[in-house]
Amino acid sequence: MRHHLSPPSPGLQKSITSAVLRVAQTFARSLHTTRNTMALYPPSPAPPVAGSSKNEKLISPVVAPSPDTPLSSPAGQAAIAARAAAHTAKVAAGVPTTGDSSGTSTPGRAGQFLQHEHRGGLRQRDLDAASPIAQFHAWFAEAKALGGIAHPETCTLSTARFPSGRVSARMVYLKELDHQGFVLYSNFGTSRKADDLASNPWASLTFWWEAQERQVRVEGRANRLSAAESQVYFDTRVRGSRIGAWASRQSATLVPKGEADPEDDGRAQLEEWVAEAEQRFGKGDAENEDNEDNDPPIPVPEFWGGLRIVPERVEFWQGRQNRLHDRFVYDRQVGSEADGTEAWTIKRLSP
C-alpha cells in the first residue's frame, strides 16, 4: 500500500533547504579539516595473516568496542554527523526520509541502487586462493579500520531445529577467528540456539558491512569449545558479565510476582537470580570489578561457553550498481581435512 502525504508548505520547504545547506557547509569544512589531518590519522593497515598453524589465532579475541569508543576516522565521523543532521532536519519537518519528490513514501526504493562503486568491484584474483578464513580476515581488518563501521564483529547466527525445520536467528558478536573457524560465546543450557543445535549441528553466520556494501555468509558445523578454552575467554569479561552468565537462564520465561507486586513484569525474578550469584561469588571490587577483595574466582558455567563454526561454505558478496553484484563462494573439497590438508574450490555466482 502506498501512503500519499501532502507536500510541505513553501515556508517549511525553505526551512528544510536552509538546514540541508548548513549541513552541507559544515560537512565541506569538515572534509577540508580532514584533508589536513589525515597525515595524523592514516588508515590502519590490515594486520598480516597468521601462519599455517592450525592453532594460531588470527584475531584473539575480537573484543566488542564500548558504545562510547570514538570512530577512528575523522572523515567517517564527519560523514556520519552530516547524514544524521540531514535526517534529523527532515524528521523534524515531517518530511518522509525515503520517497520521491511527490512526497510518496517509498522505503523500498531507497536502497534500490548503489550510488558509487566500491573498489571497482570484486574479481577472483582479489581473493585469497588458499583459505576463506584468510580472506575473511582481510575483509574484517578493512571493515575494522573503516571509521563508519562501529561493530564489524556483529553478525547474525541462524540455526534450524529438526524435525520441524523451523529457523531462528539472533545477533551475536564474533569473538575469535582462528584457522579452524569462527568462535562466539553464549548460553547453551536453556537457549533456543542450544535446542536447535542439539537436533541439527549446522549453523550459519551472516556479516553485513554497509559502509563497504559487503556481505559474508558462513555455513558450517557448530562444535562446542572445551571448558578450559571457554574459561580463557570468560576470564576476560568484566565481573558483572560473569555474574550475569551464571544468573541468566537464557530464554526462560520470567514470572511476574502478581498480586505481591503488581508493578513487576518478571524483572524481579532475574534480579533475584543475580543476587544469588553475587552471594555465591561476591560482588568484586565496586570500582575495578576485580578480586582484590578476596572474592572467590568465578568458574565458567557448565551451561555456558564457546561455539566454533567450522566452515564448509563461505560466500563473499560485493555490492555493485544495477544489482549486478559480485559473488564468490568457497566450497570445502570433500575429504580435504582427513589427511590434515585443507582444500577449497572458488566459483563466481550470478547475482
pLDDT the model gives residue 6: 54
| 202 falls within a domain | yes
Residue 10 to residues 16, 17, 57, 243, Cα–Cα distance (Å) = 10, 10, 60, 58
Helices (H), 101-131: 107-110
| Residue-level pLDDT at 32 | 39
Cell of 171: 545477533
**Domain range for residue 90?**
10-42+73-110
Which residues lie closer than 8 Å to 237 by C-beta, 6 or more apart?
Answer: 245
Rounded to 5 degrees, φ, ψ at 259 are: -65, -25
| Domain-located, residue 118 | no
Q: Does residue 278 lie within any of the structural domains?
A: no
The predicted pLDDT at position 29 comes to: 46
Q: Are residues 83 and 153 in the same domain?
A: no
Indicate which CATH number applies to the domain containing 180. Answer: 2.30.110.10
Same domain, yes or no, for 156 and 201? yes
Burial class (CB in 10 A: 0-12, 13-18, 19+), 344: buried
Q: Do 101 and 146 reside in the same domain of the chain?
A: no
pLDDT of residue 117: 58
Q: d(Cα 287, Cα 327) in Å, to the nearest integer?
A: 49
Active-site position among 29, 280, 323, 348 = 323
Q: Which grid coordinates belong to 25? A: 557547509
Q: Are residues 102 and 35 in the same domain?
A: yes
User: Distance between CA atoms of 90 and 76, rounded to whole angstroms?
Assistant: 21
Q: pLDDT tens digits, the chain, 351 residues: what are they?
A: 544 445 556 665 565 556 545 544 544 444 333 333 223 223 333 333 333 334 445 444 444 333 333 333 455 445 445 545 554 565 466 544 333 334 444 444 444 445 555 557 999 999 999 999 999 999 999 999 987 788 999 999 999 999 999 999 999 999 999 999 999 999 999 999 999 999 999 999 999 999 999 999 999 999 999 999 999 999 999 999 999 999 999 989 899 988 889 899 999 999 999 999 999 998 776 555 555 566 788 999 999 999 999 999 999 999 999 999 999 999 999 876 655 568 999 999 999
Catalytic (active site) residue 221: no
Does one domain contain both 182 and 314? yes
Please check whether residue 214 lies inside any domain of the structure.
Answer: yes
For 274, the 3-state DSSP assignment is helix
CA pseudo-torsion sign 97, 99, 101, 104: negative
Residue owning grid cell 555455513: 219
* Structural domain contains residue 53: no
Return contacts of 1-7, CB within 8 angstroms, 24+ apart.
Answer: 2/104, 2/105, 2/106, 3/104, 3/105, 4/102, 4/103, 4/104, 5/96, 5/99, 5/103, 5/104, 5/105, 6/103, 7/102, 7/103
Q: How many CA atoms lie within 13 A of 240 on its CB side?
A: 6
Predicted pLDDT at 12: 56
